[in-house]
Structure 1
Amino acid sequence: MAEPLRILFLSAEVAPFAKTGGLGDVGGSLPKALHALGFDVRVVMPAYRKIEAGYPGVQSMPLRLDVPTGSGVVHAGAFEGKLPGSEVPVYFIAQNNLFNRENIYGYGDDSYRFAFFSRAAFALTESINWRPDVLHAHDWHSAPAIVWLSTAGQANPRYHGVGSVFTIHNLAHQGLSSWNIFDYLQLYTHSLKEEAYGEVNFMARGIYHANIINTVSPTYAREIMTPDGGARLDGLLRHRQGDLHGILNGLDYDEWNPATDPRLPAHFDLDDLENRAEARRALQATVGLPQIPDVPILALISRLDWQKGLELMGHTLHMLMNSYSGPAQFVVLGSGAAEYENMFAQLAAYHRDKMTAYIGYHAGLAPLIYAGSDMFLMPSRFEPCGLGQMIAMRYGSVPIVRATGGLADTVHDGYTGFSFHDFSVGALWDAIQRATFIYNVDRPNWRRIQANGMSADFSWQRSAQGYAQLYEWAQAQQRYRG
């Protein structure tokens, strides 16, 4: 019987140990689905302060890593644990000066911190005597591992034939550094035309050096090859388009399941939607809205920033709350840029009998919003994959989205939700009007759209099959090169 393929999985975020967004969700879920397919997956991430301070189920490893750098050998330690509910090992690279800090990102030496992490991951595999078949690196933070593997790493026979897959979660964050970073990594290479003189762009480097590249939705993979969506890397991506693929992120069905979610007042599923009315009443009571049974409740849960298309929301909410498409209620949960926080807070104060704005973090409210709302808004400028629309559909809230990235791949207009193309108030308002019209006058059709969304398959098992194919291609390409 063939040995299982060994996957070295590098990510700056792995839920529940560290998470700021979708990268953490993927880090915590995809390895479990890969393990279920028979892969020997080992996850490696930095040991941030939460790990150093003591994390349940995470133990210190009796080893010392001697990590070679251009500044000399730097010593590091390691912790080990397992992804919750699985046998997938997680290793944490511990270097007190670099990772034991208040935040994950946002420091002037971030490029050196993650370059060290990337190099130390290989030292860890040597220390535990485990050789990967494929390196799977995520976003710019672990791109230095791809660069090192394809250059200096080839001097070591241990790494001959190791394929590489580079996953782009958000092309906008590119990891710029000075050329000195290559001295630190002890490697020699040439500059790319995407890099200014004396600059290193780790996102570009991951794209250039990896065997296979993928993004987190098929549509986003196409969008980033255009000048509008390519964040100045579209030429390089077009050059690599034969090796560029799009695989939708999945949804953790154990966490997001309305039939078992302990955060809901009543459980429901596609065959028992009556209990959903209880979640609706609980949502109205929790956020202080009148408990009117038939009025459509629209919701938005979002990081409040430019990417999310929130400048379309001000005038749209003004029309919605003034009943231009009939009576409606609105709930927003999120935090971010002050301009958007203030906009929602002011609108909520003005329409206090119809709208509530929760600015900041509110534990437990998100599942209730998904389960109790009728429509879920995501008017994003761009959205590599998006998770909110998948959760909303699973919980019976019909998404209204801009057809971009993963939103275009998951929400099908008139079938599982409503979508619009132009980035304009008029296009968003037209989609909302179409949705509220069907909700108000054609309830059987509404139930059909709701049921289609609830029965859609967004499981990680489906996505993991796609990654299994990428690993085979990466290995084959590396063998051909080698």
Structure 2
Amino acid sequence: MAEPLRILFLSAEVAPFAKTGGLGDIGGSLPKALHDMGHDVRVMMPAYANIEAGYPGVGSMPLQLNVPTGSGVISAGAFEGRLPGSDVPVYFIAEHNLFNRPNIYGYWDDPYRFAFFSKAAFELTSHLDWRPDLLHAHDWHTAPAVVWLATAGQADDRFRGIGSVFTIHNLAHQGKTSWNVFEYMQLYTHGLAEEGYGEVNFMARGIYHANIINTVSPTYAREIMTYEGGAGLDGLLRHRQRDLHGILNGLDYDEWNPATDPRLPAHYTVEAREARDENRRALQAALGLPQLSNIPILAMISRMDWQKGFDLMGHAIHLLMNGYSGPAQFVVLGTGQPHYENMFRQLAGYHREKMAAYIGYQANLAPLIYAGSDMFLMPSLFEPCGLGQMIAMRYGSVPIVRATGGLADTVHDGITGFTFYDFNGDSLWHAIQRATYVYNTDREGWRRIQTNGMHANFSWQRSAEAYQQLYEWARAQMLYRG
């Protein structure tokens, strides 16, 4: 067992309090796994509107944070709760004007909101009479904390010598803003080659200033050092490549377990999966599809966005529904850009006996889709990690994915699923044809692929052990410098 560490864990999203994607999942799961390893983890996030309105198990703290900014001292409060099912404390920075808004993101002053949060988090650690050994910051929203710690923070006895790890969840979102944000943060520093004149790029700043950088899959870590995948920051990432690592996100096995999932009509295991048929029939009934037992059900659960490969879907699904790989049914659940939503509505209207499109969000329908479908599609243009393919495998739905990012690291062609490389409709269609051919003609081979996927280990314990190594490297860097 390594020496227990005191870890300040900053994230704009922490499930179940706030979540729009994988960032929220890691915020709600990794700290619990680290705590189970003996580390003292304190999670901090903004107090969004749902917290201000009153969240079960979250209470107000009797303190006032006086946060110095270029606009003067701004006062803030804090709430305290626990990650569900754990003793990990979660602290919520409350500033009514900045965080009590209908949405998490999407405001002109987002860089200033999260810069304030980052500075307030350090103030809160002092009120807690707790000094972290290490800062773990996530995505550009908490990069201001990395920047402050590496610059002004080194002149503060309370924080000098604290190491930092910066995790990139999606390099495409970079937090670009005016240089005035540094005046707001009371920071004096130099520009970066990746920043335009008078511009601050918080993603670049996190990469530049952190001791250790990581992404959420090994393949994505390599992809972002290329011109095609680097979103303008590939040169900086190549410069820091010795400190750049890739660690797969884990899967919360307590939440995603077909043997215990309360949202399923029938539970099952890899050794006794016959009950999947009951979930299959329940899925067909819920979506108004004919309850046929001898044809594959293909499924997709996703945000409907260009990144997720929806530009490839129309032609492939039309061929599938017209029987070019044999009889099949198709189910899609998601919401997003209107032209993708309309595409699926039109396809579902044309193929009413074979296809169902649920445009929206239905929390209880997603597990039933994983448990009742035979194949799960993820044809992403890029995918830093992805959780859908991990859940699908655990529930016995064989993934068909483009071999990029975390999809390439988790799905192995012909072993745990089916993969394709070129980002075009023909490559997707050929992968679907290969999968349906095995399903229809080689049931023993199909069962072997399904079994391999259900046996795959994507536990957070494995990920937490890898993060622990990054923390030790970050601390060693600071001790060496000191």
Q: TM-score, normalised by structure 2?
A: 0.99
Q: Helix, strand or coil for the counterpart of 1:336?
A: coil
Partner of 2:245: 245
Question: Residues of 2 paired with 1:393 and 1:28: CA distance?
Answer: 21
Q: Does 1:312 align with 2:306?
A: no
Identity over the aligned pairs, expressed in percent? 79
Q: Quick one: structure 1 residues 351 and 114, their matched pair in 2 at CA, closer, same or farther if it must change by over 3 Å? A: same
Cα offsets for 1:258-300 (capped at 9, x unmatched): 0000100100010111101000011111111111111000000
Partner of 2:65: 65
Q: Helix, strand or coil for the counterpart of 1:369?
A: helix
Question: Residues of 2 paired with 1:376 and 1:128: CA distance?
Answer: 46
What is the one-letter code of the residue matched to 2:110? D
Q: Helix, strand or coil for the counterpart of 2:193?
A: coil
Q: CA deviation at 1:159?
A: 1.5
Partner of 1:148: 148
Question: Residues of 2 paired with 1:233 and 1:125: CA distance?
Answer: 32
Matching of residues 28-47 of structure 1 within 5 Å: 28-47=28-47
**Misfit runs of 4+, over 3 Å:** none
Q: CA deviation at 1:157?
A: 1.8
Q: Which moves more between the two structures, 156-165 or 379-388?
A: 156-165
What is the one-letter code of the residue matched to 1:261? D
Q: CA deviation at 1:132?
A: 0.5
Partner of 2:433: 433
RMSD of equivalent CA atoms: 0.9
Cα offsets for 1:280-335 (capped at 9, x unmatched): 01111111111111100000000000100111110001110010010000000000
Q: Helix, strand or coil for the counterpart of 1:245?
A: strand
Question: Residues of 2 paired with 1:2 and 1:325: CA distance?
Answer: 53
Cα offsets for 1:130-153 (capped at 9, x unmatched): 000000000000000000000000
Q: CA deviation at 1:350?
A: 0.2
Question: Residues of 1 paired with 2:241 and 2:277: CA distance?
Answer: 47
What is the one-letter code of the residue matched to 1:464? A
Cα offsets for 1:347-399 (capped at 9, x unmatched): 00000000000001123110000000000000000000000000000000000
Cα offsets for 1:56-113 (capped at 9, x unmatched): 1101000111111111111110000000000000000000111111110111110000
Partner of 2:300: 300
Question: Residues of 1 paired with 2:288 and 2:92: CA distance?
Answer: 44
How many residues align? The count is 482
Question: Residues of 2 paired with 1:363 and 1:8: CA distance?
Answer: 31
Q: Does 1:207 align with 2:207?
A: yes
Partner of 2:135: 135
Partner of 1:15: 15
Question: Residues of 2 paired with 1:247 and 1:362: CA distance?
Answer: 30
Partner of 1:116: 116
What is the one-letter code of the residue matched to 1:203? M
Q: Helix, strand or coil for the counterpart of 1:339?
A: helix
Partner of 1:464: 464
Question: Residues of 2 paired with 1:317 and 1:424: CA distance?
Answer: 13
Partner of 2:51: 51
Q: CA deviation at 1:421?
A: 0.3
Any stretches of 5+ residues in structure 1 without a counterpart?
none
Partner of 1:88: 88
Q: CA deviation at 1:160?
A: 1.9
Question: Residues of 2 paired with 1:193 and 1:286: CA distance?
Answer: 54
Matching of residues 185-200 of structure 1 within 5 Å: 185-200=185-200
Question: Residues of 2 paired with 1:384 and 1:215: CA distance?
Answer: 7
What is the one-letter code of the residue matched to 1:125? T
Q: Residue 154 of structure 2 contacts residue 161 of structure 2 at CA under 8 Å; is this kept in 1? A: no
Q: Residue 289 of structure 2 contacts residue 353 of structure 2 at CA under 8 Å; is this kept in 1? A: yes
Partner of 2:413: 413
What is the one-letter code of the residue matched to 1:206? G
Partner of 1:398: 398
What is the one-letter code of the residue matched to 1:233? L
Q: TM-score, normalised by structure 1?
A: 0.99
